[in-house]
Structure 1
Amino acid sequence: MKFLEQPPHFLFFTGKGGVGKTSIACATAIELAAQGRRVLLVSTDPASNVGQVFGIEIGNRVTPIPAVPNLAALEIDPQAAAQAYRDRIVGPVRGLLPDDVVRGIEEQLSGACTTEIAAFDEFTALLVDSSLTADYEHIIFDTAPTGHTIRLLQLPGAWSGFLEEGKGDASCLGPLAGLEKQRSQYKAAVDALADPQRTRLVLVARAQQATLREVARTHEELAAIGLTRQYLVINGVLPAEEAAQDALAKAIFDREQVALAAIPPVLASLPCDILALKPFNLVGLDALRSLFTDVAADAAQDSAAPYLDAPSLATLVDGIAADGHGLVMLMGKGGVGKTTIAAAIAVELAHRGLPVHLTTSDPAAHLSETLDGSLENLTVSRIDPHAETERYREQVLKTKGAQLDAQGRALLEEDLRSPCTEEIAVFQAFSRIIREAGKKFVVMDTAPTGHTLLLLDATGAYHREIARQMGNKGMHFTTPMMQLQDPKQTKVLITTLAETTPVLEAANLQADLRRAGIAPWAWVINNSVAAARPHSPLLRRRACNELIEIEAVASRHAIRYAVVPMLKEEPIGVERLLELANQGQTTQGV
């Protein structure tokens, strides 16, 4: 493994949920410990399952791993860290400021930025206080801070003063209110991150074109702020020998090889390791010790064929179509196939003779090109996130920014580069289309997160302002936020994969939405191997593992759900999307 050659003191693993960074971080820790190195494994992932991987309870304390000499682990609970962080900031003003102002501050501190910064706050000491890590030769972090968080922490300035003067009601400055006292410590931590002699950053990806493009953006963002020494690990690549087993395995193998051949140039220059897909869950020491080997353990051992009895996407469409019109929103983390599922639902509704407007903010416009004018009753629009974000930034700088001094304007400009800004800008563009849902179906892809919706509602950016203006005139009105909260007008479908981390992230998204007063209508489990009835021994073993997650969704998380099988061919074009929507309507033997 290239990323394991002459490892520095700190190793950070970063990547989207479900790519396997926790497994790789754990396997790295075991490998280094086996070489006699003293290792501390630290997780800051909200969906951390490090304790589950090792089969012991770890928690927020350094815990030796009994079965692995020289290895200890620590799980920083980002949610608990974020709550303690919020209490530190909000506590002093509670009772002094009006309740609605306090609620606004709390909401501003409820999102992903606060959680990430609070977690960074927790593990910063490990980067800069040598006395805490003197017993360890290597500190391995499962999940690195994003470039946006690091860039915020690099900014100069009195955050607290900026906020106290009432200027800082934007999306991501709020979480920084309590950081000023420790700014020198954060500077030292960022310096440690940027020092290749001390730190190695490992980007973890899958062999998928969309995922690799996302990782390329992460690479460039981190390199731009000084974290240039990066390694790439492409995880879970189907072995060539499996491609001969059945048509599905061959299709997966061919797709992955095409993605690898078209890897973005900025990634092609990085030191790269490719890890083969394993047939087993990476839980337990034996499994983790096999991760870096070329032999897929027990791959030849066939599994008992599981039976999957699950509703199809067409079953959900039946329930959607019964209303005759309405808003259908697809939500979920990146890489789970929201765009494809949105298009399949839109095509199936249109195929049934119902008028449909499919709108997406997906930068890859191939669906628009494929569908435009190709099916009666269906119109397609694509919102350009970059153009909408620029328009929104200019509007905010022209209004709010005009009242700020140079320092305040610089802070506002930085905040407007946050992920929240793009979500708000795209949501405003979507809002112009939402009104059509009173007469037809509007299927919306790439929806804003629960936190962004809460932020829009709590800060009065749109919803409260409209309510104030219209309420004063005694007029009946419906804002987009009210429409999203009305189950008669809006159906939210959460899209996920039948894997541990994506399901956990989807459950967290559902909790966020419920806090915003939005009750998800259904879950869609996409790209299921179990629903595809593979013959490949490796894929059959993977299918058995999926059943656990599908059962968790069916019994614990979703009111209603559907399972969409992995297809041999990419679901692009009307015919393939119709095929996708109607797959798996009966009990299937895998």
Structure 2
Amino acid sequence: MYPSFSPNNIHTQFLFLTGKGGVGKTSTACATAVALADSGKKVLLISTDPASNLQDVFGIELTSSPKAVPTVKNLFASNIDPESSAKAYRESVVGPYRDKFLESVIATMEEQLSGACTVEIAAFDEFTSFLTNSEIVKQYDHIIFDTAPTGHTLRLLQLPTAWNGFLEESTHGASCLGPLSGLADKKDLYSSAVSVLSNPTETTLILVTRPDVSALLEADRASKELKEIGIKNQMLIVNGLLQNHNEEDKISSAFYNRQKDALKQMPENLKEAIAYSLPYVSYSLTGVENLRSLFKPYEVPTTELNIENQSNNLPGLQAIINDFSANKTKLIFTMGKGGVGKTTIASAIAVGLVEKGHRVHLTTTDPAAHLDYQFQSNKLNQNLTISSINPKVEVEKYKAEVIAKSSKDLDEAGLAYLKEDLESPCTEEIAVFQAFAEVVARTENEIVVIDTAPTGHTLLLLDASESYSKEIARSTGGEVPDNAKRLLPQIRNPKETAIVIVTLAEATPVLEASRLQDDLRRAKINPKWWVINQSLSATNTNDPILKSKAMVEKEWINEANEKLAEKCALIPWLHEEMVGYEKLKSFVR
């Protein structure tokens, strides 16, 4: 369908890879770097991804300074830790005020600077030096960045108001960035970096995706955002494409057909990009020889053809439902990154509890989730009610409220900044939080299952607003609605509320789920269950590639079960979608 990707397709000095977690950005970046270095080019590979396993891939310790990879001539690597960068950035902003403000105010300032956007700004600050330092640039034929900045972050940095201290005085809500005063002396440097990014003779943006709908939608969103600010030299790599399938194996056929159907739904914008593919491989993409194999025709090693299926002793979904039923849990959240199957798991938990005789209300805040589709408009059990919260509607309503409150005090430039700042991911979480607080408030006699919840960072922002609104009137225009105030302690109460983290048995989804759990624990919320969804190791597939891939899953299943989760359940990869009440009922069994 697509020609195989080759490093010969690269014609610019700078390469930026972007895509949703788990699509294979790091392995694609590493394999490309190795291939270019093998061809005689001097290459620098830089990761700014907090989930990056660059050190594991090459088997060496890395820092923010370039280091030669001993097993690959001409290849140098650097691993920028964005969390450490963000910590240093936070201290540079907050430090000067520690002796001037109350401890409670300092705590709130630090939380303002704990969001995803701050981490990204700090990472961008680090790799700007690689883009604009002529001494570094002239040393290398190619500089490859594993993870590109989002369009939202780059637009913020291009707004003049971002540099005039506006945020120090801002009293609106939702900002993930906090004060930008710490970057005021770098305006020209950032401007130069954005110029390099948008120059098609210098930079190629590689959109990495999997052949599944959610990954394609994320790649499309990133593509559009970055085109808006002039980064138009884009290339698409469809990673993990199953080349052949075993027609006698139900799992293999379904896997192949589901990929094919997803690609038929590719957004029109992505169809305009030059597209290549990389094969679905059974081996782990660590070690230089495995990386070199990625761009060669793939054959399953003969040692993998006779692998025996191994059973797992982890419980299934029924154990979770029995737990919630026995403990009279009133509020259940499913959380996790896009594409891990949160909506299906939330729907199945709701159906399982209804089948146990409970009254259940199921709602979603996930814009990609369609509960009407999930239930196929089937006649529902009378004990199940369903609603859907539209994030776009809630965000527009919230933004209108904030702008109305703040606009009288702002000039045109300040208003432009405010509008862009309200594009922050936290804006949606806060707006949606208020909306589902209303749903929870009116369903005291039912179990409420909510598909997608706010992060610990957003909850802490709301908590900060509740506690310190007189000193820093942020988060919801200075006012936290009463039902939201009641919901915060309810979410923290393990006798009433349970968080279910949904993930996949792969490196990036597990690492991201672990960070999500850490984030929630900062907000004094401890997830009760992890669900490892769509596991090939829990199927009886006889397809050699899929069986071999199932073996690779074991490491991440053990990591989640033994080190990360309080309780862990395993759900097999299913050869059909679980849509309709009856199928969800059988799924639970």
TM-score (norm 1): 0.93
Provide structure 1 residue ranges, at least 5 long, that are not aligned to the other structure: 467-474, 583-590
Q: Counterparts of 2:483 and 2:25 in 1: how far apart (Å)?
A: 50
Whether 1:191 and 2:195 are equivalent positions in the alignment is: yes
What displacement does 1:268 show? 1.1
Residue number in structure 2 paired with 1:409: 415
Residue number in structure 1 paired with 2:540: 533
Q: Counterparts of 2:280 and 2:537 in 1: how far apart (Å)?
A: 16
Residue number in structure 1 paired with 2:219: 215
Going from structure 1 to structure 2, the CA distance change for 1:86 and 1:303 (only over 3 Å counts) comes to same
Q: Counterparts of 2:442 and 2:171 in 1: how far apart (Å)?
A: 36
The CA RMSD over aligned residues, in Å, is: 2.1
Aligned AA (2:566): I
| Matched residue SS, 1:314 | helix
Q: Counterparts of 1:568 and 1:33 in 2: how far apart (Å)?
A: 41
Task: Give the conservation status (yes or no) of the 8 Å contact 2:116–2:176.
Answer: no
| Matched residue SS, 1:244 | coil
What displacement does 1:289 show? 0.8
Residue number in structure 2 paired with 1:520: 527
Task: Give the conservation status (yes or no) of the 8 Å contact 1:333–1:496.
Answer: yes
Residue number in structure 1 paired with 2:479: none
Going from structure 1 to structure 2, the CA distance change for 1:75 and 1:447 (only over 3 Å counts) comes to same
Task: Give the conservation status (yes or no) of the 8 Å contact 1:368–1:381.
Answer: no
Q: How does 1:369-384 map to 2 (within 5 A)?
A: 369-371=373-375, 373-384=379-390
Aligned AA (1:438): E
Q: Counterparts of 2:483 and 2:540 in 1: how far apart (Å)?
A: 53
Residue number in structure 2 paired with 1:344: 348
Going from structure 1 to structure 2, the CA distance change for 1:106 and 1:289 (only over 3 Å counts) comes to same
Q: Counterparts of 1:202 and 1:4 in 2: how far apart (Å)?
A: 14
| Matched residue SS, 1:308 | coil
Whether 1:259 and 2:262 are equivalent positions in the alignment is: yes
Going from structure 1 to structure 2, the CA distance change for 1:463 and 1:445 (only over 3 Å counts) comes to farther
Q: Counterparts of 2:165 and 2:344 in 1: how far apart (Å)?
A: 46
Residue number in structure 1 paired with 2:87: 83
What displacement does 1:438 show? 3.3
Residue number in structure 2 paired with 1:421: 427
Aligned AA (1:258): D
Q: Counterparts of 2:419 and 2:132 in 1: how far apart (Å)?
A: 29
Residue number in structure 2 paired with 1:472: none
Going from structure 1 to structure 2, the CA distance change for 1:206 and 1:232 (only over 3 Å counts) comes to same
Q: Counterparts of 1:510 and 1:188 in 2: how far apart (Å)?
A: 37
Q: How does 1:129-528 map to 2 (within 5 A)?
A: 129-157=133-161, 159=163, 161-167=165-171, 170-174=174-178, 176-240=180-244, 242-298=245-301, 301-364=305-368, 366-371=370-375, 373-436=379-442, 438-460=444-466, 479-528=486-535
What displacement does 1:459 show? 2.7
Going from structure 1 to structure 2, the CA distance change for 1:381 and 1:462 (only over 3 Å counts) comes to farther
| Matched residue SS, 1:526 | strand
Task: Give the conservation status (yes or no) of the 8 Å contact 1:275–1:291.
Answer: yes
Q: Counterparts of 1:39 and 1:193 in 2: how far apart (Å)?
A: 18
Match of 1:571 among 568, 578, 584: 578
Q: Counterparts of 2:132 and 2:575 in 1: how far apart (Å)?
A: 50
Task: Give the conservation status (yes or no) of the 8 Å contact 2:64–2:79.
Answer: yes
| Matched residue SS, 1:178 | helix
Map Cα deviations across residues 402-446 of structure 1 (whole Å, 9 max, x no partner).
Answer: 332333222111111111111111111111012245321100012
Whether 1:561 and 2:565 are equivalent positions in the alignment is: no
Residue number in structure 2 paired with 1:66: 70
| Matched residue SS, 1:438 | coil
| Matched residue SS, 1:390 | helix
Q: Counterparts of 1:61 and 1:481 in 2: how far apart (Å)?
A: 43
Map Cα deviations across residues 544-587 of structure 1 (whole Å, 9 max, x no partner).
Answer: 111111111111101111111110101221122223222xxxxx
What displacement does 1:166 show? 4.8
Task: Give the conservation status (yes or no) of the 8 Å contact 2:13–2:202.
Answer: yes
Task: Give the conservation status (yes or no) of the 8 Å contact 1:168–1:174.
Answer: no
Q: Percent identity?
A: 47
Q: Which moved more, 1:242-251 or 1:136-145?
A: 242-251
Aligned AA (2:491): L
Residue number in structure 1 paired with 2:551: 544
| Matched residue SS, 2:498 | strand
What displacement does 1:221 show? 1.0
| Matched residue SS, 2:499 | strand
Q: Counterparts of 2:8 and 2:578 in 1: how far apart (Å)?
A: 38
Map Cα deviations across residues 221-243 of structure 1 (whole Å, 9 max, x no partner).
Answer: 11111111110011111122x23
What displacement does 1:211 show? 1.7
Whether 1:8 and 2:15 are equivalent positions in the alignment is: no
Aligned AA (1:530): S
Going from structure 1 to structure 2, the CA distance change for 1:223 and 1:581 (only over 3 Å counts) comes to same
| Matched residue SS, 1:534 | coil
Task: Give the conservation status (yes or no) of the 8 Å contact 2:68–2:75.
Answer: yes
What displacement does 1:214 show? 1.9
| Matched residue SS, 1:135 | coil
| Matched residue SS, 2:570 | strand
Q: Counterparts of 1:5 and 1:239 in 2: how far apart (Å)?
A: 21
Task: Give the conservation status (yes or no) of the 8 Å contact 1:456–1:462.
Answer: no
TM-score (norm 2): 0.93
Q: Counterparts of 2:382 and 2:163 in 1: how far apart (Å)?
A: 54
| Matched residue SS, 1:42 | strand
What displacement does 1:179 show? 1.5
Map Cα deviations across residues 53-79 of structure 1 (whole Å, 9 max, x no partner).
Answer: 111111222110111000000000111
Task: Give the conservation status (yes or no) of the 8 Å contact 1:522–1:558.
Answer: yes
Residue number in structure 2 paired with 1:117: 121
Going from structure 1 to structure 2, the CA distance change for 1:4 and 1:85 (only over 3 Å counts) comes to farther
Q: Counterparts of 1:536 and 1:175 in 2: how far apart (Å)?
A: 54
Residue number in structure 2 paired with 1:470: none
Q: Counterparts of 1:441 and 1:168 in 2: how far apart (Å)?
A: 34
Q: Counterparts of 1:90 and 1:533 in 2: how far apart (Å)?
A: 55
Q: Counterparts of 1:363 and 1:116 in 2: how far apart (Å)?
A: 23
Aligned AA (1:244): E
Going from structure 1 to structure 2, the CA distance change for 1:381 and 1:121 (only over 3 Å counts) comes to same
Going from structure 1 to structure 2, the CA distance change for 1:175 and 1:249 (only over 3 Å counts) comes to farther
